[in-house]
Structure formats: structure tokens, C-alpha cells
């Protein structure tokens, strides 16, 4: 079977023109599916709730390699501050500007271009190739990848390995391969007192000093030293609010919000228990609401991570480091089904005004993905 050749830049520009701010798709997945069908993929449009998702597969055998990513993007912010507009992709001095250029329509376009290039020379390859594309990665992540994975399991599409195209490199292609991510836990801590006049403190109960004591204990705590694959766990206080606009009133209550990024020394549950013990020791009554964002995960270095690392080295001339830094990603769901690693473009402009990716890096990413396919499927 002869396959169409796809150029990464026109494909990426077409995807960027789709204003697919979560959970809107604006035609991005429909366009991508049409391109994949030309390559012999069978496409399934899977909508869960308000979220569009796409699963596409070519072949039925093993090894089965899955490319996972998302077509949704974060809001553009003030559009007048963009040089060319967030959804008007333009190239200037070898750099393509547009929302999603790096996070992560760039990698999705590179996936498709790489598969097309590989199929052009290997139309009768072994195994199978699939795409898991969601429209809910930048949002709640409830009706996206996690729901598609359940559908894949029910329908016999669980892959042997998965590559997520999140932008993993700080400044140069080939710097990092992510083999895991830290977990995320948010605490909403409230201390209640009694409102009163600042001139009559004996008639009131100021909750702020008690909160300050608790936050001081949390900020000073060193949870662990990290390990071979993870940074130390860190806690950051993000807001403190009394809702009090008067400077002569002792507030009735005060609330602080903090977030903890934790390594695999902890689970969300054990970390919450540890923090509650610290707050109790600091003294005074408190209320806390926990918001569990994600557990940490790790794909142990082995055959699949080494394949990606070696492919990146051969194409870029750099030896990537295995890392687990950064925020959360949908790889945290995929790890429960198969080994998963992340390798994509440059992350220095993600979510920013004038988000961009260099043409050279995008074309280099295509070559890395082709090399991975060659190593896995022959």
C-alpha cells in the first residue's frame, strides 16, 4: 500500500488554525483523522461528556506502539499582544508562532509526519501503530485519556509501549526523556477565630497568628532528600486570604492554599497524613480540604526508555537525561496500562503569549520519531 507523505509544518499550521481551547475541538481532531485515514488508519471518534477524543490504529499485531498527545490548548490570553495572533500560525526567522506550537500540536503533527515518512519506506511493517489524542489534557482530564484507555482495554487496543509528545526539553532537542512525574497534592487550610475590633483584642480571637505558625512549620519542613530519579518533595504556599478589607477589624477566619509536588517516597494519602500531623503539632484547631491532583509514577529504565533515548541521541547528537521534573501529564494514566515515556519539543514558551517552535526542531522531532519506529517495528 502506498502512503501519502505528510509535511510537519503545513500540518501543524492547519492544527493551530483550529482554536481548540479546552474542551472545544474546532475541527482539529477531524482534520487529523482525515490525514491518518489516508495512511491506512482506522479512526474512532470517542466523545465522553463534552470532550472529543480520537483513537486511530493501523495494523493489528505486536509490537504495538502508541503515540499519545492532545489537541486542546490553553486560552490565548490578550490576543492583541500576539505578534501574529494565537490561531494565525506564521513563520518568522525560522520560528513558527501560534498557540499549541510547542504544547503540543507540534508533537502531534510530528507524530503524523513521522509515521507517514516511515510508512512510505515500510508499508508492510511488523506490528501496529496507534494514536491516542485527547481534547481534555489542559482541562479537568476526566473525560479524556483516562476514558479512552478504558475503551481501548475493552476493545483490545492496549499497546505494548507508549510515547507521549509533551515538550520535554528546556532549550535544545535531545536534552531530556521523561520517565515519570511527581505527584501533586493541594491543601486548603482554614483557621477560624472570632471577629472583633483591633483595639479590643481580648474580645476577639485572631486566627492569623495561628495560621502563620502552621505555615512556618510547613515551609520549613524538608520532606525527603529525593532519590535517583526524583527531585526532593517541595511544598509551596500559593495564597493567604482573610477576605478582610478593613485594617481595624480582626478577621473571623483565614484560609491558605498550598501545593505539594511529591516523589515516589509518598502517596497522596501518606503525605496528607504527615501534613495533618504537623498541623496538629503546631497547635490549635484547623480545617483542611485536600485536592488530589495526581500520584507520582515512574517507568523504570529499561528497553523502551532506552530505545527512545538512543533514537534521540542518534538524531540530535546529545545524550538525553532521564528526568521526572515538571508538571503533571496524561502519562500518569497510561503507565497503568503499558510502559510510557515522554519526548517532545522545547518547553520554554509553553502557555506563553507568542508560544513558538523552531522549524528545525520540529523537523528534528520528526526524524527522532521515525528512528523510534525503525527500532521498534524494523
Give pLDDT tens digits for 349-376.
999 999 999 999 999 999 999 999 999 9
pLDDT at 3 over 80: no
Is 60 exceeded by the pLDDT of residue 2?
no
Catalytic site residues? 72, 137
Q: Give the CATH number of the domain where residue 212 resides.
A: 3.30.70.360
- Which one of 235, 266, 294 terminates a domain? 294
Count of structural domains, the chain:
2
pLDDT reported for residue 1: 43
Is residue 2 in a domain? Answer: no
Mean pLDDT, the chain, integer:
96
Q: Are residues 35 and 176 in the same domain?
A: yes
* pLDDT for residue 108 is more than 80: yes
146/237 same-domain check:
no
Q: Are residues 235 and 97 in the same domain?
A: no
* Lowest model confidence (mean pLDDT) among 1-5, 52-56, 192-196: 1-5
pLDDT higher than 60, residue 63: yes
pLDDT score recorded for residue 256: 98
pLDDT at residue number 283 = 81
Looking at per-residue pLDDT, the higher value among 374 and 6 belongs to 374
Q: Are 344 and 268 found together in one domain?
A: no
Residue 4: the pLDDT is 67
Q: Is residue 3 part of a domain?
A: no
Instruction: Decide which of 294, 322, 344 is a domain's last residue.
Output: 294
Grid coordinates of 115: 509515521
**Residue 32 pLDDT grade (very low, low, confident, very high; cuts 50, 70, 90):** very high
Verify that 167 and 24 share a domain, yes or no: yes
Q: What is the pTM of this model?
A: 0.91
Amino acid at each position: 500500500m502506498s502512503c501519502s507523505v505528510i509535511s510537519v509544518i503545513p500540518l501543524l499550521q492547519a492544527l493551530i488554525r483550529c482554536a481548540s481551547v479546552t474542551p472545544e475541538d474546532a475541527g482539529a481532531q477531524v482534520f487529523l483523522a482525515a490525514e491518518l485515514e489516508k495512511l491506512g488508519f482506522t479512526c474512532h471518534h470517542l466523545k465522553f461528556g463534552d470532550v472529543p477524543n480520537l483513537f486511530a490504529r493501523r495494523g493489528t499485531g505486536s509490537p504495538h506502539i502508541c503515540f499519545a498527545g492532545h489537541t486542546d490548548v490553553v486560552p490565548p490570553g490578550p490576543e492583541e499582544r500576539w505578534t501574529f495572533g494565537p490561531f494565525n500560525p506564521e513563520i518568522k526567522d525560522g520560528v513558527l508562532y501560534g498557540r499549541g506550537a510547542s504544547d503540543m500540536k507540534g508533537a502531534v503533527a510530528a507524530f503524523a509526519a513521522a509515521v507517514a515518512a516511515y510508512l512510505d519506506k515500510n508499508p508492510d511493517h511488523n506490528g501496529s501503530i496507534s494514536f491516542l489524542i485527547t481534547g481534555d489534557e489542559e482541562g479537568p482530564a476526566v473525560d479524556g485519556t483516562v476514558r479512552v484507555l478504558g475503551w481501548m482495554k475493552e476493545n483490545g487496543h492496549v499497546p505494548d509501549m507508549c510515547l507521549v509528545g509533551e515538550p520535554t526539553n528546556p532549550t535544545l532537542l535531545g536534552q531530556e526523556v521523561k520517565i515519570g512525574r511527581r505527584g501533586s497534592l493541594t491543601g486548603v487550610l482554614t483557621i477560624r477565630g472570632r471577629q472583633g475590633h483591633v483595639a479590643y483584642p481580648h474580645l476577639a480571637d485572631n486566627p492569623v497568628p495561628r495560621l502563620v505558625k502552621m505555615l512556618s512549620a510547613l515551609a520549613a519542613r524538608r520532606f525527603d532528600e529525593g532519590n535517583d530519579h526524583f527531585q526532593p518533595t517541595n511544598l509551596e504556599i500559593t495564597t493567604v486570604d482573610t477576605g478582610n478589607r478593613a485594617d481595624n477589624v480582626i478577621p473571623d477566619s483565614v484560609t491558605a492554599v498550598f501545593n505539594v509536588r511529591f516523589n515516589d517516597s509518598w502517596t497522596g494519602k501518606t503525605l496528607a497524613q504527615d501534613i495533618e500531623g504537623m498541623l496538629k503539632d503546631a497547635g490549635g484547631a484547623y480545617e483542611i480540604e485536600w485536592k488530589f491532583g495526581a500520584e507520582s509514577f515512574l517507568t523504570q529504565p529499561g528497553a523502551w526508555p532506552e530505545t527512545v533515548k538512543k533514537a534521540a541521541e542518534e538524531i540530535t547528537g546529545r545524550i538525553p537525561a532521564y528526568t521526572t521534573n515538571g508538571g503533571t501529564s496524561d502519562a500518569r494514566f497510561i503507565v497503568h496500562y503499558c510502559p510510557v515515556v515522554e519526548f517532545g519539543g522545547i518547553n520554554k514558551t509553553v502557555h506563553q503569549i507568542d508560544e513558538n517552535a523552531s522549524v528545525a526542531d520540529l523537523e528534528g522531532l520528526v526524524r527522532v520519531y521515525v528512528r523510534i519506529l525503525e527500532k521498534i517495528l524494523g
